[in-house]
Amino acid sequence: MDRLLAILLLMLGLALAHADSGATPLPTEAFAALPRISSIQLSPSGKHLAVLRNQGGNTLLMTQTVSGQDAHIAVTTDNQDSVITWFRWVNDERLLVSIRFGDTRGGVELQETRLLAVNRDGTQQNDNLLQQTAFPSIFGKKHFPQFQDRLVGTIPGDPRHVLIALDIERPLSPDVYKLDVYSGERSLVQANPGLQPGLRNVLQWIADRAGQVRVGVGQFHTTVRVIFRAPESSMWRDLAEYDLAKETGLMPLAFDADPAWLYVRDQHRGRAAIFKINLADPAVDRLLVASDPKFDLAGELVYAPGKRKIVGVRYSDEDQRVLFWDFDAQRLQARIDRAIPGRANVIYSSSDDGRLHVVRSSGPAHPPQFSLFDERDGRMVLLGKAYPDLEGAALAIPQPVTLVARDGKELHAFLTTPKDRDPRELPLILFPHGGPASHERDAFNYWTQWFVSRGWAVLQVDFRGSDGYGDEFLRAGFQRWGLEMQDDVTDSAQWAIHTGLASAIRICIVGAGYGGYAALMGAVKTPDLYRCAVSLGGVTDLLQIVDDSRWYLNQKQVVEARIGSWWSDRDRLRDTSPLYHPQDIRMPLLLMHGVMDRAVPVSHGRDMAEALKAAKVTTYRYVELPLADHSLSRAEDRMQVFTELEQFLKTYLE
C-alpha cells in the first residue's frame, strides 16, 4: 500500500517533504476581496480602455487612453442595490452598461436588469435607457420588461444604435428594436411571430453581421424550435425542432461574415461540437468545423478583430481555452503565448483594425492579469492584476485525478494541496461544485486557494450531471439529485480514504448552491463519513424548487425533467430533501444563506434552520447574510463567509 501510495503521489506531482507548519498564511482579505480588475475592453479605434475596477467595496467603470492619460469614472456602484454585470463600447465615446438587481413581482423574488448609457468621461449618463414612461399604449399599460439588457447585435456603420430584444407588447415574447444609445428612442425592426399560424413564440433572437435579424429560438414546455430567414428573404422557415427533455439538439450561435453561413452547436459522437450551415442553399450539407473527442465545446464563438469573421470557440464560459480553426488566429495566439509563457492567455478585447489586443492571462496558481499586446511591434504591456495581494504567494496547483464510482462510471476530479505537503497529513475539504450543470476546471479558484492557504487539502469531483463531458454524462444526473449524483460525491470521499490520501476522521464536506445541497445530503445519508458539513446558499427543499418553477415561462417542465414532478415524484423529492431529515444530521453543521439570494431563496436556509431547531438538533449554526446574493458580489459578504468558515473548520476539522 505504501509503495502504491508513493507512486500515486508521484503521479500527482505531490512532494512528500514536510513544510514549515508555523508559516503565517496570507490574510483572508487577500482571497476574499473582489478582483481589483474584473474586465478591460478596448474602444473600437484602440485609443481608449474601459476598466471595471473594484475598490473599497465599490465597483467603478473607469476609462482612460491606452497610455494611461485622460482618466474618468464613468459609472460607480456600491454593490448593495445593484451590480454591474457587463459593459461594452458602442463607439469611441459611448458605453452601454448592464445593471442587475434583486426585486419582487407578484410576491415572487427575482432578478431584474436595466441598461444605462454613458459617455467615457461620465457625461450624458442615461441611468435607464428604457424608462417605464417610454411604453405608452392606447390600449392601456404595456408590459414592463424584467430583462432590459438583451443585446441582439450592433449595426455596422451606425455608431448611434444597437439592436435589443424587449417584451413590451406581450410578456415573455420579445420583439427586436433599434435603440438609440443617446436618447433611448427605439423603433421596431422585428416583431415576434409567436401568434402567427405555425410559428412558436421566439425567446432568443440572432442577427447577422450586417445587423439583420435572421434567426429565432423558441420554446414551449420542453420543445425547442429554431426558425430562420434566408439572406434577402422575409419568409421564416423551420431549421430544427426537438424535445429538450429527451435530447440536446441544434442550437444556433452566430453568423459568419458571409450572411449565408450560420454557426450552430449540435451533438457529434456524444459531445457538443461546432457546425456551420448554409441558410441560402438547403442542398449544401452542413460542415463539421470543430469537435473534441473528450469534452463538449460549449462556450462562445471567438471573432477576429472587427467582429465579423469567426475564428474559434471556447470550451466553456468557465474554461476559456480556445480551439482555433483559423491559421492567422493560431499564429497570433502562438505569439502571445511566447510573450507570456506558462499561462492560459485569452484575447479579451481587440481594436477593430486588429493591431491592439487586451490579453487576460491566468493559471491555477496564477490569478488573472491583463496586458496590452501590440501586433505591430510585439510589445506586451502589463495593465493590471486581479489579485495583486496574492502576487508572489506560493499558490497551489490542482492535480487532475480519475476515480471510478461504485457502478463503474469514470469520474474526473482535482486534488489540491499546499505546496510540499503530504496530503496524508492534512484534513480534507470535499468541495462539490454548484449548478449542478457545471464542472471543475484547471484554473484559478479563490475558494480553493484560500482553503489550501489554511493548510487543508481540497478534493473537487465532477459528479454525473456535470456538464462538459457529453450529453450522456449530463443526463445521467437528471432526476437523480440525492441519489447517484450524491453517491458520486460519497465515492470520491471513499476513494480519498482508500488510497490513503485522506484520513477517515478528518473530512468535511463544504459547498454552495447545489454544492450546499450535496453537503447537507452528505450529512443526512452518510453521517459517519464526514467530521462536519457546511452549506452556503444550499437547496434544502426540492419540492419547493419545483413548485417555484411554475412562476417562470417554460421553467416548470424543464425543472421537472431535470429534478422531478411535484405530483408524481413527490415522495422521492421529499426523501431526497434535507429539510425533511433534520433528525439524521448528527455532525457539526454550518448553515449560511444570503437574504438577497435570488437563485436559491433565503427561505431554504430559514426553513432548514427551523427544522433543525424543531428536531432539537444542537450541533448546527445558522448565519444569515442580510445583503448577500447567490454569488457573493460584495467583498464584505465574502469576508464574513470566510471568517465563519475558518472558525468552524478549525474547531471541528483540525
Q: Tell me: the pLDDT tens digits for 358-401? A: 999 999 999 999 999 999 999 999 999 999 999 888 899 999 99
For residues 493 and 511, the answer to whether their CB atoms sit within 8 Å is no
Q: Which of 97-106, 227-236, 457-466 has the lowest mean pLDDT?
A: 97-106
Is pLDDT of 7 > 50?
no
Task: Determine the Cα angle at 289 with ends 288 and 295, to 5°.
Answer: 90
- Band (pLDDT 50/70/90 cuts) for residue 316 is confident
The β-bridge relationship of strands 213-220 and 223-228 is antiparallel
- pLDDT (0 to 100) of residue 422: 76
- pLDDT (0 to 100) of residue 110: 80
How many C-alpha atoms does 141 have within 13 Å on its Cβ side?
A: 5
Stretch 627-651: mean pLDDT: 95
- pLDDT (0 to 100) of residue 310: 96
377 C-beta neighbours (distance < 10 Å), count: 7
- pLDDT (0 to 100) of residue 10: 35
- pLDDT (0 to 100) of residue 425: 81
Sheet of strand 366-374: strand arrangement: 344-350, 356-363, 366-374, 380-385
Cell of 318: 468557465
Q: Which residue has the higher pLDDT, 79 or 15?
A: 79
Closest CA to 90 of 134, 148, 50, 135: 50
- pLDDT (0 to 100) of residue 3: 39
- pLDDT (0 to 100) of residue 99: 94
- Band (pLDDT 50/70/90 cuts) for residue 553 is low
Cβ-based burial of 269 (10 A; exposed 0-12, middle 13-18, buried ≥19): exposed
Gap between the Cα atoms of 301 and 364, Å rounded? 24
Rounded to two decimals, the pTM is 0.92
For residues 508 and 502, the answer to whether their CB atoms sit within 8 Å is no
Where residue 629 falls (left for φ over 0; alpha for ψ -120 to 50; beta otherwise) is beta
442 C-beta neighbours (distance < 10 Å), count: 15
- pLDDT (0 to 100) of residue 554: 56
- pLDDT (0 to 100) of residue 392: 80
Gap between the Cα atoms of 205 and 174, Å rounded? 9
Cell of 456: 487543508
Stretch 459-466: mean pLDDT: 96
- pLDDT (0 to 100) of residue 140: 58
Domains, the chain, in order of start with CATH, read 2-29+391-541+577-652 (3.40.50.1820), 192-314 (no CATH)
Q: Which of 527-536, 563-572, 608-617 has the lowest mean pLDDT?
A: 563-572
Closest CA to 121 of 57, 183, 48: 48
**pLDDT, tens digit, for every residue of 21-35?**
446 789 999 999 999
- pLDDT (0 to 100) of residue 8: 35
Report the percent of the chain where pLDDT is more than 90. Answer: 76
Is pLDDT of 11 > 70?
no
- pLDDT (0 to 100) of residue 136: 57
Stretch 58-81: mean pLDDT: 93
Is pLDDT of 2 > 60?
no
- pLDDT (0 to 100) of residue 13: 41
- pLDDT (0 to 100) of residue 107: 74
- pLDDT (0 to 100) of residue 15: 36
Mean pLDDT, the chain, integer: 90
Contacts by 21-29 with C-beta closer than 8 Å and gap 24+?
A: 21/455, 25/453, 25/454, 25/455, 26/389, 26/390, 26/393, 26/453, 28/450, 28/639, 28/642, 28/643, 28/646, 29/389, 29/639
Q: Which residue has the higher pLDDT, 182 or 393?
A: 182
Is pLDDT of 12 > 90?
no
**pLDDT, tens digit, for every residue of 420-440?**
777 778 999 999 999 898 888
